[in-house]
Amino acid sequence: MELSLDNLEWKDAYKLLIGTIVPRPIAFVSTVSQQGVNNLAAFSFFNGVCPKPFIVSFAPMFKDSADPRKDTLRNIQETGQFVINVVTEDIVHQMNETAPEFPSFVDEFEVSGLTPVPSTKVKPARVLESPVNLECELVQIVNFGYQPGSGSLVLGKVVYAHVHDEIVQHGHIDADRMRAVGRMAGNDYARTTDRFALKRPPLPEQYR
């Protein structure tokens, strides 16, 4: 199959994107509006950028509405702060409860039954049940169009991190203890407990 992306409808391009870039880490992003309403939403276009400064990124897509911004993006634009909470097998069902496009006045902490607890350096609450919470201050937002199918790249600097002691072993995050989940296409998710090791080879002598 050969595809010209210029001629592909955005929904078909979306299917290609989410079907080929798998599994995707999930950013469970908590924000707060200027009116003080908590918001909690999951985004599977999520990744790290660099460790020093500690920069992370996620990419919310635009909606087909008068204001195409999701509440998460609007809150970050207004307040400059957010928290990324890691999604695990223990809370994936509660995360899924936040998926509908609720009105802006709805607090998804209440919808999901998850517990909001105060952050240390930012205003948005973090998810108590998540084993890792990354408190972030906005660095930059890059917009790629404003029509349905387009979106934004949100870059945040992690200013404080909360990590549950039970997932740390010998100074490292233990993947088996954390039990994070990843996003596939459609309704499918992936566990991170089925892994294999592959040692990185050294640079061959002739190239040193």
91-143 tens-digit pLDDT: 999 999 999 999 999 999 999 999 999 999 999 999 999 999 999 999 999 99
**Domain boundaries defined on the chain:** 8-207
In this structure, what are the phi and psi dihedrals at residue 96, rounded to the nearest 5 degrees? -60, -30
Mean pLDDT of the chain: 95
Given the DSSP bridges, would you call strands 151-163 and 116-117 parallel, antiparallel or unpaired? Answer: unpaired
Q: Is the peptide bond before 124 cis (omega within 30 degrees of 0)?
A: no
pLDDT given at position 119: 98
Q: How far apart are CA 146 and CA 23, in angstroms?
A: 26
Q: Tokens representing 37?
A: 């309403």
pLDDT given at position 146: 84
pLDDT given at position 164: 97
What is the architecture, at CATH level 2, of domain 8-207?
A: Roll (2.30)
Low-confidence ranges of the chain (pLDDT < 70): 65-66
pLDDT given at position 67: 74
pLDDT given at position 66: 63
HSE-CB of 162 using CA atoms within 13 angstroms: 20
Q: Beta strands of 27-174 (E only): which ranges?
A: 27-32, 38-43, 46-51, 54-58, 81-86, 116-117, 126-127, 132-144, 151-163, 168-169, 172-173
Given the DSSP bridges, would you call strands 168-169 and 172-173 parallel, antiparallel or unpaired? Answer: antiparallel
Q: What is the DSSP letter of 69?
A: -
